[in-house]
Structure 1
């Protein structure tokens, strides 16, 4: 008669939800519980005394035997996952926990196996694996360079396109900060710029910008880059999705067409520019002649000097307008009196034209925050468009007034704006062309490039405004521009730009290093600052400046400010020179100078590590004011 303890043990085994069996060392069943029988669809007498192998999938038998052979007194438990074949032929997945029992001699005597069905888990794992393979295939097949970053900017994952662009294996990118990738090792400024953008994205801001970096072949390429924060369930930034695409080819094509359009516009403006420039140079020449004659007689009329300086600044303003067409660039923002900008632009654009302007400007208008050169370009394009629409001449109506945008009025944020309207009496625009008038390369003119109005649209949008057109065939066209009014404060007027310096000399003191490749300018600036009380040292390029700076540093005579020309022939200037100086002194105080006032470095001088910027030409009063301000901060 069975003992109660054996009955209790058997009941315990039979009540389990797992399928349990005991086997001899050779794999023959000694016992199977009821769950085992139901699961496999067989009776116990069909299993006991027979091998387990027919229950397993034929392709898994060898692997199971191999894993079971690892059982030993030191390793008595082995967990195996394998496929099984049911009585009806269906294939399932099961996990078996196998415990070995050993005799005194250490040999395997029996195995107890506890199994459970894991088919659902295996199917989920397979689905996940397939999904990951599909994702990886798409991730690696896309032409865009994609990387997944943690909030600190460390690369967690990167796709094949990015690896090919950088020309390095995956392990050289993953686990390292994004700004240390090979495309940015050439420039500390480029690395710092990317770090700043990642810091902003970490705070939840979507970032998009264009940049130029080197590929693994050393070629400079243009990239359209975005950094998008990915938040967790609590709204905290968990990841940063970095995407970029190579826009070098389309950028070059666009620039080629843009240059063609600029040449067309320059052709229209050439006559007026030559006329104005000749007048300016004549004024300067006559004033200098008078100064020379007066100096030979022992007296110099200061008004002649003042007038010559005023005309130099007029010539500078004219050259900046030309640079806007010739080079373009990022907006260099300043508080502007829009009325003066419009009047100045019209004076240039209408020279030699048969258009007759009628101006209507509201009084006491607030300033705008804008780029004078680029806004001038917008007005030039609108005047050229009006001229082409009225080949026999006609009226051009230009009005400037204030406007309010209320919530829900349109795409612009609510607030105060300045409204500029330019209306002609030309041929007008057909209804089917109205929707495409601002599209790049769309034109109805036989010799047009289709870039002028597209440039207007892009420029106005970059200034936070809008441009629209209303027209009917044969009834002319009205272009309306809205630009945000700047916060309270005085605008920078053209009169201030061309005014002469104070008769009282600007003074200061401190040690100044000038890095400038133009000999005449270098020595003139040195003499001017020397007369103002500064101690000046000169260098013709960044390398020489580095030597001078390091020598002064070792002597305990650090330079208070370094003036660096942005472009130096045959040497390092601008950002490159600043990087060189930072090797000697990470806290170097540097000011960038450039005759290309619309260049990127002049727009982004703060991000690049400069303390201020000086567009050429500048007055003694201006440079001394900046030097004194910087040294006061120190």
Structure 2
């Protein structure tokens, strides 16, 4: 079938649209679809009216809501100049008010935005068909066959009546739509056809208009042969001969039921969405592709710091807290790439400087080109929720601290009972040196228990940074487990791989882990059993080297519901347990960059596996060398009792000792000794001196005086990084408080060997 735009290239279309991008895009699309149309465009109603007066366009496609002059006013003025001109309205407004205004001024078709090009092409095709047909009827100089074919093949229904309204002709489209054959309606009066479903008043208005020599355009309700109602867009005009006398009436009709239903459905959907957004108890927003908010529902506008149109989701970031902007921008860039915004929590700043926490999530909206055109999402004020969460965490921490404090008080009170009791009894046994020595030995043993408890507390808390050195794994593991199992009815089997890689660890802390695990295994097998202690080399897929240590027992096992809690501080299932052992193990291994995990089967025993990074250095034995004499030692400590005790211990070993209360005094004594041409063989520096210069600052000054100074750092704060990396700060050795006389002697001997 030949389309009318191919038959008549003289039809002129005027397109009026205030948005430049839309105007350019739709003009291009119409040009490709209807290449024979002569298309002009204008940016508003006034410009459109001026352009029409210049070119006398046959068909006008116009927006309604425009500056200077809207589409309704322009259409009204153009109709006054040319009543028969065809006008199609393309707009985003679907309100009844606009529809009624459009009908009143004689707008031919009404197409909603975003434009359905199928409906738009159908409307333009219909208008072009009507224009061509009317032009041919008026001119009456075309071929009757050509005109008949054009009418018969028209996508619109066509009806011709005489001046009395008697139907003389209907095309095949009429029969297809209504179901009536030509012979069933030819001869009937126009009144009968048009009043099947519409009131008589409507027909009388139509009849009055056309008999008066004017065209009538509008919509009526009609009924098909099968009884189905349909909406009909009707254009009926008088046909006059050369002398101006009316001879016929020509009606062009279109079934617009489908588009009406679509319009109604769209309007209903929009109303549903609008109502949902208006009453939703959560912020709902819509953005463009750049993330700028173009719609925000009432609840969203109540969120402090978020109010359209100033606020943006990504665009200007003016409302986003400065500390969250980088993370916020990255999340939206990922959303543009993936089409989804994962739940994102961030802060907004109000103009008053107050902070609001919000949680946003969104999904993309794609345009006709398949590309992301924007996002629709939700935003929720979660400030109170986060505050409640923080309060709950505080409560949980306080509960944990209460348990921890109770456990510490219990353990220390037991230890202090042993210390105070034995010292008190020693005062009554001064006459018996043997009994006195035993009492003091028992008191010392209790004090060592206090030292171990303090070390465990620091280790599983934030303190206890490991003081590392290269160690051989088998020797350390054997010694640690043997010291724990000595005198028990539990035997230990060793399964060590050949050529185990060495570890760079805190020897004492790793021994403590193995001792704690071995002690737990021992207590899990009161009737005796076997511990299997093994170690193997492991090479990860990334090429990293690890040593895996495993300790398995043949005890009763751990229930599943307890297995997840065994590393929590002060969690214990044993009546005599402290609940710190496994918590300490976990903290030590974590500080060494390793992992510890447990598996267990009831009735079959438990197995603990430790994975630690292997050292790259080899563990070579140092050649023995004669000990250099250490005679003069300088001790700096702010605690007078510590100075006295340390001085007495060193003097028992034959050293000459000088003491300093703070760093300033120690520096002055060292400088004075250096000025005499002498030096101290060793300097023991307390790391922390309240209100004075501590060991960290003192060693810097001593190194300036004597680059070869042999300094030992000493502290009860084992979490200080200086204790873990003492060589990096210029010290030669480290001495942890509290210390026993033998520990001081060993450190000094190692210092001599170095």
Q: When the two structures are superposed, what TM-score results if normalisation uses the length of structure 1? A: 0.41
Q: Which is greater in Rg?
A: 2
Higher RCO by CA contacts (8 Å cutoff, separation 6 or greater): 1
Q: TM-score, normalised by structure 2?
A: 0.36
